[in-house]
């Protein structure tokens, strides 16, 4: 027994000395990374493309950094990479502590605004070259005429469909809403899930609602309700909600959609258990280049534009979509000039490579002439060129608080807990309260 106790004490003592040793040795390494390593200027960057899940994006960024460091030997770019959720959480902690990285990723409008108002992001007016970006994409990252972040992605949202299922029931990609309803009815009568929807994530259902609002009331009606030049109780917005209610009653959406995440819902489409899936173009790699997905399945996937509504004001070339993530430079950064220089370099190089290498449509104007592109990409890029309007995702336009009300109401509307009138009224109240 004595021996045992002795060895216990010894191991404790050992552990104790380890703590001390660990403490002193890592302290010094922490110090050296603080502002400069050697005589190099360190620029810290955080992004959300881990090597494992987003290898293509990771590689592009990595290559760009290497090239940049070669051209600027006195600059050292240090990256920290996190998954999506963890990235958002960490940014919160860092901004609350005034410790944002020199360069980082932000989302548009409603997400970005508090950071700009809190004086966290530096204005990028001095480096932005407006003509290089797709028209309108910078607006979502501007506050009071100043640009605070440079977008990297641009997405629109088509409806993907399974051509084989459609053929089996003699269906064609619908162009009008009535045709669309017919497709839904035929499929559901035959026991096929017409549409898969992961409405636990809520923004997924919001996209369906936004399209209906656009097709019925035209592109401005929802924007006006949000920017308070209009009202959410506009008849068109209520009517759009009524259409959602009808779709749900028809059994258009997969069973239990309010409890499924987008990832789970996507599974139904990928496994051919559902015929249609409305999602942004970031899904394109799954239907074109991703090696994990069987070619057989890829060949079955087509897409159509959200159909037009009879008597509605929206046209078929108006899309829900908009820029995705963008790069910001921290206002507190001690190396702001270097950071800005790097950001502008990165955005430009990213634009040259992202479609071909990663299947990401950049917010900068794409030159499709070089590199081989899958036909679906060519089509989408053409559609994008012809787009008459892009309506930014409603939850991104709104401030976080109102967005939460909107998204909860979307879930309630789809779930039948809110009537279209209540749906519109609740959001109108939330928007009005914030004015």
Name which of 121, 120, 118 is nearest 148 in CA terms. 121
Closest to other proteins by CB, 221 or 358: 358
As measured in angstroms, the least distance from the Cβ of 64 to other proteins is 17
Contact between 286 and other proteins per CB under 8 A? yes
Which residue in the block uniquely carries the two structure tokens 């240090």?
78
> What are the CA-CA distances from residue 71 to residues 66, 124, 134, 333, 411 (Å)?
9, 22, 28, 22, 51
Task: Decide: 216 and 312 in contact? Cβ < 8 Å.
Answer: yes
Question: Closest by alpha carbon to 104, among 125, 120, 118?
Answer: 120
Is 292 among the residues that bind other proteins (CB under 8 A)? Answer: yes
Q: Considering the rule CB under 8 A, would residue 429 count as an interface residue with other proteins?
A: no
10 near other proteins, judged by CB under 8 A? no
Q: Which of 95, 106, 137, 239 is the binder for other proteins (CB under 8 A)?
A: 95
Query: Is residue 15 at the binding interface for other proteins, with CB under 8 A as the rule?
Result: yes
What are the CA-CA distances from residue 369 to residues 156, 357, 366, 402, 408 (Å)?
A: 21, 14, 9, 43, 44
Residues 6+ apart with CB under 8 A from 165: 187, 192, 272, 275
Task: Choose the binding region for other proteins from 126-134, 158-166, 174-182, 255-263 (rule: CB under 8 A).
Answer: 255-263
Query: Out of 104, 151, 158, 285, which residue is the one contacting other proteins (CB under 8 A)?
Result: 285
Alpha helices in 163-306 (DSSP H): 163-168, 177-189, 203-217, 220-227, 235-249, 262-270, 284-287, 295-300
Under the criterion CB under 8 A, does residue 401 sit at the interface with other proteins? yes
Tokens in use for 240? 């759009």
Tell me: does residue 267 bind other proteins (CB under 8 A).
Answer: yes
The region of 69-77, 172-180, 239-247, 399-407 touching other proteins under the rule CB under 8 A is: 399-407
Interactions with other proteins, residue window 184-223 (CB under 8 A) = 193, 199-200, 202
Q: Decide if residue 49 touches other proteins (CB under 8 A).
A: yes
Cα–Cα dist 243/306, whole Å: 14
Judged by CB under 8 A, the chain residues 100 through 129 that form the site for other proteins are 114-115, 117-120
Q: Which is nearer to other proteins, 119 or 129 (CB)?
A: 119
382 binds other proteins (CB under 8 A): no
Identify the residue among 11, 17, 37, 227 touching other proteins (CB under 8 A): 11
Q: Is 52 in the site for other proteins (CB under 8 A)?
A: yes
User: Is the dihedral angle over the CA atoms 166, 168, 172, 176 positive or is it negative?
Assistant: negative
Please tell me the distance from the alpha carbon of residue 351 to that of residue 361, in angstroms, as a whole number.
8
Closer residue to other proteins, CB minimum distance, 108 or 216: 108
What burial class does residue 124 get, using C-beta atoms within 10 Å of its C-beta: 0-12 exposed, 13-18 middle, 19+ buried?
Answer: buried
Could you say whether residue 146 binds other proteins (CB under 8 A)? no
The number of residues that bind other proteins (CB under 8 A) is 90
Residue from 136, 251, 302, 415 in contact with other proteins (CB under 8 A): 415
- Quick one: which segment of 35-43, 91-99, 232-240, 390-398 binds other proteins (CB under 8 A)? 91-99
Query: What tokens were used for 292?
Result: 């994990």
| Residue 411 found at the interface with other proteins (CB under 8 A) | yes
| Window 301 to 320, contacts with other proteins (CB under 8 A) | none
Please report whether residue 325 would count as binding other proteins according to CB under 8 A.
yes
Q: Which of 252, 260, 346, 430 binds other proteins (CB under 8 A)?
A: 260
Q: Closest distance between other proteins and the C-beta of residue 328, in Å?
A: 13
Buried b (16+ CB within 10 A) or exposed e, 247-276: bbeebbbbeebbebebebbbebbbeeebbb
Contact 49, 282 (CB under 8 A): no
Tell me the three state secondary structure of residue 27. Answer: helix
54 counts as binding other proteins under rule CB under 8 A: yes
């Amino acid at each position: 027994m004595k021996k045992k106790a002795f060895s216990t004490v010894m191991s404790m003592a050992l552990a104790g000395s380890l703590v001390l040793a660990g403490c002193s040795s890592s302290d010094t390494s922490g110090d050296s990374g603080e502002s400069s390593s050697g005589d190099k200027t360190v620029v810290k960057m955080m992004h959300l493309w881990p090597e494992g899940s987003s290898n293509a994006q990771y590689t592009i960024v990595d290559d760009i950094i290497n090239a940049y460091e070669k051209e600027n030997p006195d600059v050292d770019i240090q990256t920290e990479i996190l998954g999506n959720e963890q990235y958002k959480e960490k940014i919160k902690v860092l901004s609350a502590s005034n410790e944002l990285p020199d360069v980082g990723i932000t989302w548009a409008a409603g997400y970005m605004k508090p950071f700009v108002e809190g004086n966290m992001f530096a204005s990028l007016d001095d480096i932005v070259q407006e003509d290089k970006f797709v028209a309108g994409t910078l607006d979502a990252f501007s506050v009071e005429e100043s640009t605070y972040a440079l977008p990297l992605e641009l997405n629109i949202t088509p409806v993907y469909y399974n051509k084989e299922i459609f053929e089996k029931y003699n269906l064609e990609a619908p162009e009008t809403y009535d045709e669309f309803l017919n497709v839904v009815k035929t499929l559901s009568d035959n026991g096929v899930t017409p549409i898969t929807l992961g409405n636990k994530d809520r923004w997924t259902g919001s996209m369906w609602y936004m399209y209906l609002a656009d097709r019925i009331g035209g592109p401005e009606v929802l924007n006006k309700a949000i920017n308070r030049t209009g009202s959410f109780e506009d008849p068109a917005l209520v009517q759009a909600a009524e259409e959602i209610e009808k779709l749900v009653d028809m059994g258009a959406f997969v069973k239990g959609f309010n409890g499924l995440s987008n990832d789970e819902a996507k599974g139904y489409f990928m496994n051919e258990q559902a015929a249609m899936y409305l999602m942004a173009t970031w899904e394109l790699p799954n239907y074109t280049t991703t090696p994990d997905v069987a070619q057989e399945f890829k060949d079955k996937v087509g897409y159509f534009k959200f159909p037009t509504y009879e008597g509605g004001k929206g046209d078929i070339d108006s899309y829900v979509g908009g820029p995705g993530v963008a790069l910001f430079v921290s206002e507190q950064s001690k190396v702001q000039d270097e950071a800005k220089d790097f950001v502008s370099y990165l955005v430009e190089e990213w634009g040259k490579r992202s479609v071909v290498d990663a299947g990401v449509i950049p917010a900068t104007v794409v030159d499709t002439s070089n590199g081989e592109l899958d036909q679906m990409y060519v089509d989408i890029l053409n559609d994008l060129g012809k787009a008459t309007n892009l309506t930014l995702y409603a939850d991104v336009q709104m401030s976080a608080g109102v967005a939460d009300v909107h998204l909860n109401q979307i879930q309630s509307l789809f779930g039948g807990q809110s009537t279209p009138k209540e749906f519109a009224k609740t959001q109108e109240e939330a928007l009005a309260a914030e004015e």
